[in-house]
Amino acid sequence: MATTTYKRPGIFVDETLNPIVVNEPPAGEFVAAFVGTHDFGPSKPTLIRSWAEFVSLYAGFSGGSMLPFAVHQFFSNGGRSCYVVRAVSADAKTASLVLKDRQSGTGENSGAKDVLRITATAAGTFANSLAVSVTDSGTGPGRFNLTIKAGGDTAGGAVERYTDVSLDPTDARNAVALVNAPNTGSKFITLTYLGPTTWKIDNTPAVTVDQTLAGGTNGAAAPDLSAAAQSLESTNAVLNINLPGVSDTAVLNPVIDWCERYGYAFLVVDSPQIAEGTPTEAAVSKLKELSPLVNGGTTPAPLRASSYAAVYGPWIQTADPAVAAVGATRLLPPGGALLGQFARFDVDHGPHRTPAGQDAVLRGVYSAQYRFTDAQLDELNVAGINVIRFVPNAGFCPMGGRTVKAGYPDRYIAVRRFLIHVRKLLVESTGYAVFQPNTPDLWASLTAVVTQRLTEMTQAGQLKGGSPETAFRVVCNETNNSEATVANGEVHLDIGLALMRPAEFIAIHIGQWEGGSSSSETLQ
């Protein structure tokens, strides 16, 4: 609201422009998320929209990490946006830098004093290469430009600039507020004002060029990948998660537990990397160790039986994006490419569709580490391992759509992901009802809102049945909202869905018919 004092009658117009805010994905839409170790970049969940943005924030391929390869494969396979979480050691230290002000003179006020602390947003030695420059903006006393460079000098890769800012707490372009803003602020640093409560023009950082932060260390403890994955709950998003190259069940099982508690996350697990030269039979046994459907032992322990996780393997041979040599290839875990296909299928079809088969050709894949026989494929499918294999006239495709949970119907990836999608969509759609008067009018309103959402899904072909009457049912009335539940502040909706299930097995029956006698053959 304008603070101008108006002195004459008339109409007065003010303009107020808010900072550009990153648009969040629509309710119920899955977003990919990658969690892993890396030697550069933010550690909190960060949404990125292109490989170029990943390079600017995480410096691309470095340190032997699988994280950048998974992100690159994701965007190469149709992904549009993803969260990245860089896991750091608990004992890692954060780099910082203190800037002096511009005070001069004599007596107690003589000499420059500390005015601004700059702290890296994430721990690690990478922040020791962050360089900060302060220049005069030329727009008035006490105003300056702040530049952050990654790389330690003017040749640094990632650059952030905050122009015409001030440390005056009453200024609309207060540097601390702009840099520390949760959504639009810096990805690399936070600011802390160290000057006196009553700001003066002299409490402006002195001009400096490419002064680097210091004190950052990587630490000796192993990063907690499980805790890093669970930090994604702060996004409140519907997630497809992958920990690139991680097949350790001690790490993955806590993540699966969290996926179930959170209710809006699905975990795509990379199969173990098999040593070169390992016989195919031994590779099959190694992949099956992850499956709780066939491995009932504890050494090694399998994944926890859950419909919130699925395993894909074997690893895939792709063009090596980290080197410029023509024809160079690299063996990579499949999770990044698969999450790209998940994202593409969600846009083209919806979460009810299994991202598998010849419509889900993995781009840039030259081969899979193993080619299994039909008998071995039978073993792996029964174990719930979704195998990537060559499909004639298509390419290398995921040829499986099962979770690591036995039973029906949520043994299918498509069913579990669709239920996650529906849950989020209905929670977002009915949030308005909280604290509304708990009366039949509210029940009717909720019924109408939910019916509309489910009707849209039916019309989009996401539910079984050609009409709302056969595709779903919604009950929210006196039959499931008694006086006791109303007195307790509760509203109950009972929803039934006719779920779609994938066609896994195509059986073709070929028969010969000649004047009353016949013979037949069944192909699958």
Task: Give me the mean pLDDT over the 210-223 stretch.
Answer: 95
| Tokens of residue 449, six digits | 């809102």
Statement: residue 23 has pLDDT above 70 = no
Q: What is the DSSP letter of 231?
A: G
- Give the residue from 123, 63, 128 showing the smallest Cα distance to 91: 123
Average pLDDT, the chain: 89
Residues 6+ apart with CB under 8 A from 90: 219, 221, 223, 224
Are the C-beta atoms of 242 and 339 separated by less than 8 Å? Answer: yes
Give residue 447's pLDDT band: very low, low, confident or very high (50, 70, 90). Answer: very high
- Give the residue from 203, 194, 192 showing the smallest Cα distance to 103: 203
Residues 6+ apart with CB under 8 A from 154: 210
Q: State which H helix or E strand residue 178 sits in.
A: helix 175-180
Pick the more confident residue, 338 or 152. 338
State the pLDDT at residue 514: 67
State the pLDDT at residue 410: 87
State the pLDDT at residue 239: 97
Share of the chain above pLDDT 70, in %: 89
Q: How far apart are CA 389 and CA 368, in angstroms?
A: 7
Residues 6+ apart with CB under 8 A from 237: 24, 25, 31, 33, 83, 264
Statement: residue 24 has pLDDT above 70 = no
Statement: residue 488 has pLDDT above 50 = yes
Q: How far apart are CA 279 and CA 283, in angstroms?
A: 6
* Fold of the 30-88+223-398 domain: Rossmann fold (3.40.50)
State the pLDDT at residue 110: 60
Task: Give me the mean pLDDT over the 215-220 stretch.
Answer: 95
Statement: residue 520 has pLDDT above 70 = no
Pick the more confident residue, 69 or 25. 69
Domain residues of the chain, as ranges? Answer: 30-88+223-398, 96-212, 434-524
State the pLDDT at residue 106: 47
Q: Could you read off the pLDDT of 27-56 as tens digits, one per residue? A: 568 999 999 999 999 999 999 999 999 998
Identify any residues that bridge with 103 across adjacent strands, giving them in sequence order.
none
Give residue 11's pLDDT band: very low, low, confident or very high (50, 70, 90). Answer: confident
Radius of gyration (C-alpha) of the chain in whole angstroms: 29
Picking from 139-153, 238-252, 314-328, 482-496, which range would have the lowest pLDDT averaged per residue? 139-153
- Where are any strands of DSSP class E within 88-139? 96-100, 114-120, 130-136
Give residue 15's pLDDT band: very low, low, confident or very high (50, 70, 90). Answer: low
- Give the residue from 44, 51, 57, 48 showing the smallest Cα distance to 158: 57
Statement: residue 3 has pLDDT above 70 = no
- Give the residue from 186, 211, 195 showing the smallest Cα distance to 97: 211
Picking from 81-95, 436-450, 491-505, which range would have the lowest pLDDT averaged per residue? 491-505
Statement: residue 268 has pLDDT above 60 = yes
Picking from 7-16, 73-82, 205-214, 376-385, which range would have the lowest pLDDT averaged per residue? 7-16
Q: What are the contacts of 99-104 at 24+ separation with CB within 8 A?
A: 99/132, 99/134, 99/205, 99/206, 99/208, 99/211, 100/205, 100/206, 101/195, 101/202, 101/203, 101/204, 101/205, 101/206, 102/201, 102/202, 102/203, 102/204, 102/205, 102/206, 103/202, 103/203, 104/202
State the pLDDT at residue 415: 92
Task: Give me the mean pLDDT over the 453-481 stretch.
Answer: 91
Statement: residue 426 has pLDDT above 80 = yes
Residue 165, CA atoms < 13 Å, CB-side half-sphere:
18
Give residue 297's pLDDT band: very low, low, confident or very high (50, 70, 90). Answer: confident
Statement: residue 524 has pLDDT above 90 = no
- Amino acid type, 375: A
Residues 6+ apart with CB under 8 A from 357: 391, 397, 398, 399
State the pLDDT at residue 154: 47
Q: What are the contacts of 98-103 at 24+ separation with CB within 8 A?
A: 98/194, 99/132, 99/134, 99/205, 99/206, 99/208, 99/211, 100/205, 100/206, 101/195, 101/202, 101/203, 101/204, 101/205, 101/206, 102/201, 102/202, 102/203, 102/204, 102/205, 102/206, 103/202, 103/203
Residues 6+ apart with CB under 8 A from 418: 350, 351, 352, 462, 499, 500
Statement: residue 105 has pLDDT above 90 = no
Are the C-beta atoms of 308 and 259 separated by less than 8 Å? Answer: yes
